Structure 1
Amino acid sequence: MLDSLTELPLTKPSVGVEGLQQAREKVKNLCEETNALLKKNVYKNYQLFIETSKEISFLKSEMSSLSQLINEEQNLISSLQEMSICGDRQGPLSSSMDKKDLTINNMDDRRLSGTTGKPGTPGRMGSSFTSDTSNSFDKIDQCMSPIGVNFGESEMLEEECQSDSEMAPTWLIELSEDLDVCIAQRNFEDAVNLVHKFNDHFALYPKFCEDPSQADLKNKINGQIEDLIKAVSKELEIVPDRPMQNGPRAARRAVNLLIRLGRSSMATELFLAQRSAILRYCLMQQKKEGATLPYIERMSTVFFTNIQESCREFQRAFGLANTTSGTGTLSSADSISLNNMNDKMSGFSLSLAMACLVSWVKKKLKHYLDSFCGHVFTTQVPPSIASECIAIVNHQCKKLRSNVHIDLVFYCDQRLRPGIEKIINESRDKLMEAIKHRCSNDKWFPQNFGNKAAMTKFLEEMKECNLNVQNFVYDECRLSLTSNTTSFAKSYLHCLRDLVKLSTLFTHKLMVNALVTPFKAHMRHIDKCLRDDNFRSQRKLIVINANFVLDTLLPMVIQYCNTKFNSVPDEILSLSIRDYC
């Protein structure tokens, strides 16, 4: 028995370290995938929640306005019932009917009394009957004879009656009342259909328009059409206390009705005025507090998000959603002024509408950039923060171009050009002053940090700047690079990252000059020290520092420029030429 037990395996083969690590990696990957999916679902549900809340708020405002209109109609109906004159007319009408009945009865009584009150002789009734019947037959013969009828005049009367019935139908006579009812009930779609029917009728019967007798009817209906336009335009009017009371669906409905009524320019102007009020309201909700960079980032997000939403709503309302993708990207050069549009266009032009939208976006961007310059281009804001703010605005303009096909990057660069040039010049001057000050005190001694901990801390600081100087360390706490060289490398890289963000079509050359000038100034200092007999003993150390600048720092600058611009300026490439001894 013991022998059989000893033959059995007492332990199972265990999983190795590699298997555990693989299982751990699988679990870690599954956790990351699960977290990513959860984040996507949460973000999607959050977006749905935001859209639903917007629709609910819009529906709530529409329900409140609808209830207010219902109350007004109820009050109007009750007042009409109180002022009704149907009850007052009932008495006179009944009395008049009674009088009519009385007169008819009296006439009958008189006729009867004329026959019964004076019976006369028996033969008199027969003679009167025969005489009356003979006279009636004579009258019938006269009516039926062809001589007594004028066929020409009767045919003319029939044609006139027929033409009148064709030119002035019943619905046209009742059109004024129907329009009043539709406007009072806010049934604008039916009212617009009646207006189109009215215009089609006048186009079909032009002689009816020239008839002086129908001028009053036409003027009255034209006045009601103007009232209809005013009622529809109120859907897009702005209430100061409640700029977001009407939802996008109501705005699109009003725009469609105004376009059908031939008021496309009015629809454009009112719609953009409404979106301006919403934009102003959203910006006013942001508090003007905190640091400059978070404030600019928050305001830029609110502004450009609202602009994109306004552009999408405009394209939906004016039927441009399917045309912008085919027309390409529009710029500020394609814009026109709203005042140049005809107020009564016979046809709706998509190009004019899109030009008005671009003009509106350009105007709003101008106001925003004016406020932006007042916050960023000041002495209290350092160049690094200012460059971050400018990069945020440029990024948002590029998103606007890709999302709604409106390119205002050129206009933004043009508006920010004076402030950007000022920042570039100030950054270059500060870097030049620092180089001049350090070079005047440069004694060309290696750095001694005293202990390994200080050296480790310094190496970490250099790694944060993507500079690896481990090969220049000796004796654990000594560095064969001078403090002037390391300080120049750090400050130059910081300046490089800030200035690259300020590169635009207008400022690229100035930015390159601001990078080349300090680099050449530092290299001239090295070349001067190499030629100076006072530093003959430090010549080896000077060469090491020069090689670090040319072989380590400059390739990083070239690579960074190539990453940002997809090319390297020739001025920067020429810095690699070694013209020192």
Structure 2
Amino acid sequence: MSEPWEHYENKLKNEHFNPKEFVQQLCKNLDNAQDLYGVKKVVEGIKQTHATELKKNVYKNYGQFIQTSKEITYLEAEMYKLGHLLTEQKALISSLTDDNITSEKIEALDISITEDMSISKIVELVQGAAVLHDIPGRKMIHNGNLIEVGEEERQIRLFLMNDCIMSAAPTKSAWMSEAYKMVHLLELKNITIMDVQDQKLCFKITQYPANMFLYRAETEQKKIEWVSHIKKAQQDLKEAVGDRPGIELKQSRDDMIEGTWEENQRRAKFRADALLELPEQLDVCIAQRDFENAVRKLRDAKQDIAKLDQSNHGPEIKARIDSRLRQLTDMLTEVNMGSGMYAHGKASKKPVKQLLLLEKVTQATSLFLRNKSTNLKMSIRRIKMEGTMTLYITKLSQTFFSTVAAVGTEFKAVFSNTEAGCMPSYVAWVEAELEWFADMFSRQVFPQGSVVGHGVAGECVAIALKHANQLSVNGLDISFLMHRLLQPGIAETLKRNHIQIMEASQLRAKEEHWKKCEFNRQTGDIKKLDDLLKIYNLDLSKYCVSTGDDKIYVTLCHSVISFVRSFHSYLLDAKKMYNVRVKKQLIDSITSCLQFQAFQLKLAPPDSDIRTVVSSSDMFMNKEFIPAVISFLETQVTQQPVPQIRNILDTNDML
């Protein structure tokens, strides 16, 4: 090669070029192994150069992305400020235009409310305000009508008590005794009030940890009154109870441990101080969703809460703790174990366990079963509808009943230590889930407007009943419930299938030639027919005429043999689906089929050439097959006499 390889390397670094064309040009001038080694070095240089450039471009794009994100954040902040300003302008215009209307409404609603009314009177006027009686000594300081500013402005009534503040919305029946409905109840020590300077008539109340309420007064003077009243009530509350209100614990002899009287008093004082801090500690745990710690604190303080003295501030502290307990219970009950952190494993048992520790057995059972229902339905939806109907029903039944049985076993283990009996809740849950399963099963096996083939419906029902026996491990026999839920679909299937048999029988009768049926020994059809009739203890040989060759003739017409085959399939299907609820439908269907086939034989033409086949077929149906069917039904299906079908043999109405 005329030029050294360093020349190409320098060219690679200094010029913009097409790598593909450059490599093709190098490969044209290859003479020996040294040239090939030089090309390898150039290709590796191209690779490294482009990797470096790609990395630089990635860093550059990343920097541009960060810059764009900052600009978007800035624009969002500006849009938020603009929306806030527009809301304030709208509120200001609304307050200027609605002053007269608002004044009239306030006058109309102030008829039954006075400044010095008692708590009992407030409870009568405000729906849901009965919780005000939880803490004795509570009294009202100030009340009045305000406008709550939010996405939609609404008129509310604010009641300021010595330890809390309650908001209530007027109801439609303002002229009745219950003129209001409670919306919020906030403790004074947990709120902060702030005068909103940029909104002339508004003040803001903030509750720990994240609630914020914006109220607008009618005039500037009323806004100042509200702010001053609330701040004064907070200051009075702090001075009245102090930073640490004194409470006493009733001590029994069991609480006294070895030691001096001073040591026992010091321990009781320490436990009382812990109770004073408990509501605030529970607020923190609930806000952080630290449910385990909250439950532990409540259980540790359970005995001390029960020993609170009824005098002093004991009832007030107990009411606050009970309020946090209700809030904690509601939050635990709303936990969904079907998704998120509670989807699988030990985490799915935590909310139930915590409710049991709080002695909330009813809520625990409801949460446990509700989330098990969610998991069950998710498992069912994962089943793919592939293959035959029986294969899908097998997967469906196996998944459903094995899951329900496993839930029962786990339910017994989780709630075995509870004093209250919880098994009725599990039984009710099984019934509800079984109704859902029966609905899904019926949509697949008993579809509306279509006929399921003989044998398929019965096989599916048998599969479902077989898997339902898994629940017997938990002492549940739900076969009767399965029969009740599936009864409409089974009855409709029996009806449709027996109509299909009659229509096929009528069609075969029209095409019947009334000749002996011919069978070939080698095909095995005659043996299958013989095996079928042996189920009913019937002998086919008396109707067979053998020839010297491989052919066998049966002195029965083709329509009778086809009817026997289809009716046998129908009868076996009915046997698998039978229960007492469908007995009448089954007997009616079988009676109709047998009568119809016997009637078709009487319509045979009076021809002497076919008289032998017709008489033989008629004798087979009336003297052998129908009595055999009756015996089969009474012994293997209904386990009871079926006189309705026996009447076919005693009457000639159908002839």
Same fold (TM over 0.5): yes
Contact 1:502 1:511 in 2 (8 A): no
Following superposition, the deviation at residue 187 of structure 1 comes to: 6.5
Match of 2:358 in 1: 261
Among 558, 570, 590, the residue aligned to 1:483: 558
Match of 2:379 in 1: 282
Deviations 1:210-236 (A, max 9, x none): 323x455435544664576578668x6
The one-letter code sitting in structure 1 at the alignment partner of 2:616 is I
TM-score, normalised with respect to structure 1:
0.55
The one-letter code sitting in structure 2 at the alignment partner of 1:542 is V
Contact 1:258 1:264 in 2 (8 A): yes
Matches within 5 A, 1:318-357: 318-319=415-416, 349-350=420-421, 353-357=422-426
Match of 2:585 in 1: 510
Among 500, 510, 521, the residue aligned to 2:596: 521
Distance 1:226 1:433, change over 3 A: closer
User: Does residue 1:370 correspond to 2:439, yes or no?
Assistant: yes
Match of 2:525 in 1: 457
Deviations 1:13-38 (A, max 9, x none): xxxxxxxxxxxxxxxxxxxxxxxxxx
Following superposition, the deviation at residue 299 of structure 1 comes to: 0.8
Matches within 5 A, 1:239-254: 240-241=339-340, 244-247=343-346
Deviations 1:332-368 (A, max 9, x none): xxxxxxxxxxxxxxx9642xx3333233222222222
CA distance in 2, matches of 1:398, 1:284: 23
User: Does residue 1:469 correspond to 2:546, yes or no?
Assistant: no
Match of 1:359 in 2: 428
Following superposition, the deviation at residue 494 of structure 1 comes to: 1.1
Distance 1:428 1:224, change over 3 A: closer
CA distance in 1, matches of 2:589, 2:451: 22
Query: Structure 1, unaligned stretches of length 5 or more?
Result: 1-160, 203-207, 321-346
Match of 1:437 in 2: 507
Match of 1:300 in 2: 397
Match of 2:625 in 1: 553
Distance 1:255 1:465, change over 3 A: farther
Contact 1:413 1:504 in 2 (8 A): yes
Contact 2:497 2:570 in 1 (8 A): yes
The one-letter code sitting in structure 2 at the alignment partner of 1:503 is Y
Distance 1:366 1:547, change over 3 A: same
Match of 1:170 in 2: 270
Contact 2:380 2:400 in 1 (8 A): yes
Deviations 1:432-467 (A, max 9, x none): 112222333444322234x5435x433335525656
CA distance in 2, matches of 1:243, 1:261: 19
Following superposition, the deviation at residue 579 of structure 1 comes to: 5.6
The one-letter code sitting in structure 1 at the alignment partner of 2:526 is F
Contact 1:311 1:357 in 2 (8 A): yes
Distance 1:578 1:452, change over 3 A: farther
CA distance in 1, matches of 2:291, 2:470: 44
Following superposition, the deviation at residue 490 of structure 1 comes to: 0.9
Contact 1:243 1:274 in 2 (8 A): no
Match of 2:64 in 1: none
CA distance in 2, matches of 1:220, 1:516: 74
What's the secondary structure of 1:288's corresponding residue? Answer: coil
The one-letter code sitting in structure 2 at the alignment partner of 1:519 is L
Match of 1:15 in 2: none
What's the secondary structure of 2:303's corresponding residue? Answer: helix
Match of 1:35 in 2: none
Match of 2:645 in 1: 572
Query: Structure 2, unaligned stretches of length 5 or more?
Result: 1-260
Distance 1:570 1:169, change over 3 A: farther
Match of 1:198 in 2: 304
Distance 1:482 1:578, change over 3 A: farther
Match of 2:571 in 1: 496
Deviations 1:541-566 (A, max 9, x none): 43432333345433542343222332
Distance 1:230 1:519, change over 3 A: closer
CA distance in 2, matches of 1:555, 1:242: 66
User: Does residue 1:238 correspond to 2:337, yes or no?
Assistant: yes
Match of 2:453 in 1: 382
Match of 1:427 in 2: 497
Among 311, 316, 328, the residue aligned to 1:210: 311
Distance 1:521 1:381, change over 3 A: closer
Match of 2:89 in 1: none
What's the secondary structure of 1:210's corresponding residue? Answer: coil
Contact 1:264 1:348 in 2 (8 A): no
CA distance in 1, matches of 2:442, 2:474: 25
Contact 2:408 2:426 in 1 (8 A): yes
Following superposition, the deviation at residue 193 of structure 1 comes to: 4.1
Distance 1:177 1:251, change over 3 A: farther
Match of 1:59 in 2: none
Contact 2:595 2:648 in 1 (8 A): yes
Deviations 1:228-261 (A, max 9, x none): 6578668x642524664234xx766754552452
What's the secondary structure of 2:310's corresponding residue? Answer: helix
Distance 1:567 1:303, change over 3 A: same
Contact 1:387 1:499 in 2 (8 A): yes
What's the secondary structure of 1:478's corresponding residue? Answer: strand
Distance 1:165 1:217, change over 3 A: farther
Distance 1:242 1:302, change over 3 A: farther
CA distance in 2, matches of 1:397, 1:239: 24
CA distance in 2, matches of 1:424, 1:482: 26
Following superposition, the deviation at residue 384 of structure 1 comes to: 3.2
Distance 1:460 1:293, change over 3 A: same
CA distance in 2, matches of 1:185, 1:244: 17
TM-score, normalised with respect to structure 2:
0.50
The one-letter code sitting in structure 1 at the alignment partner of 2:600 is H
Deviations 1:313-338 (A, max 9, x none): 22332229xxxxxxxxxxxxxxxxxx
The one-letter code sitting in structure 2 at the alignment partner of 1:546 is D
Match of 1:334 in 2: none
What's the secondary structure of 2:413's corresponding residue? Answer: helix
CA distance in 2, matches of 1:398, 1:507: 21
Contact 2:502 2:593 in 1 (8 A): yes
Distance 1:563 1:417, change over 3 A: closer
Bigger share in helix = 1
Greater relative CO (CA pairs within 8 A, separation 6+)? 1
Following superposition, the deviation at residue 479 of structure 1 comes to: 1.7
The one-letter code sitting in structure 2 at the alignment partner of 1:566 is Q
Contact 1:445 1:482 in 2 (8 A): yes
User: Does residue 1:446 correspond to 2:516, yes or no?
Assistant: yes
Contact 2:451 2:497 in 1 (8 A): no
Deviations 1:502-530 (A, max 9, x none): 3334322011111111112222334555x
Following superposition, the deviation at residue 276 of structure 1 comes to: 1.4
Following superposition, the deviation at residue 475 of structure 1 comes to: 2.6
